[in-house]
Amino acid sequence: MKMNRNARITLIMTTAVCLAILATAAIINTIHGNENQALVIQCIIFAVYNIALNFALNNIRIVKQNAARKLVLIGKWSMPLASVVCLILQADSFLPVQINTETFTCFFVGIILIIVGNYFPKNHINYFVGLKFPWLFKDEEGWYKTHKLGSYTWIIAGLVLLVHPLHHITKVTTPLVIILAVAVPLVYSLALYIQRQKRV
């Protein structure tokens, strides 16, 4: 499996981050009497998944041809980011400053939704990156329109999460984010599919 120079650099950098987080988790676990074994195991899983994910995204032809490059790059960095977040959330009791888990999670996920949503319109049909509703895989127009709408709904969902720490009303934030990020694009894509079937 051939990899170009940029892909190799990304693989090396993401693996280095995962291994650094793994080493940090191992040190914390040792210092605190093996109280964080689960964290170490999770970091090992993230490191293994990182290598597998990078190789997959670099060698699946349809991803290389159709997926938005920025979204693929985000996918390649997903495991290192997940390992960093996991370390912070599970080891925050050992940090000099306590972190509000809910606020941190909302901020992180909100930023990811905004960034990913921003690149949705540049994403073409593929089975691995984007809104993977099966009825869109053979409908270029439906795919584009759904991702165009999804771009707005994901950005709005991200903003909803960023605002959440100001009010902490989970019963409002959680359903609203699910509706914006999943339900609205799903229903819209189905409507487009049904409309297209009637024209055939």
> 105-146: per-residue pLDDT in tens?
899 999 999 999 999 999 888 888 889 899 998 888 999 999
Domain coordinates of the chain in residue numbers? 1-99, 100-200
Rounded Cα–Cα distance for residues 75 and 193 (Å)? 28
Radius of gyration of the chain (CA): 19
Is residue 175 classed exposed, middle or buried when 0-12, 13-18 and 19+ CB atoms within 10 A define those classes? exposed
- Confidence (pLDDT) at 187: 96
In the DSSP assignment, the letter for residue 180 is I
Q: Supply the mean pLDDT for the chain.
A: 86
Whether 76 contacts 57, CB under 8 Å:
yes
Q: Tell me which amino acid residue 196 is.
A: R
CA–CA gap between residue 130 and residue 70 (Å, rounded): 12
Express each pLDDT in 145-181 by its tens digit: 999 999 999 999 999 999 998 888 888 999 999 999 9
Q: pLDDT, tens digit, for every residue of 79-92? A: 888 888 888 877 76
Please answer whether residues 48 and 19 qualify as being in contact, where contact means their C-beta atoms are separated by less than 8 angstroms.
Answer: no
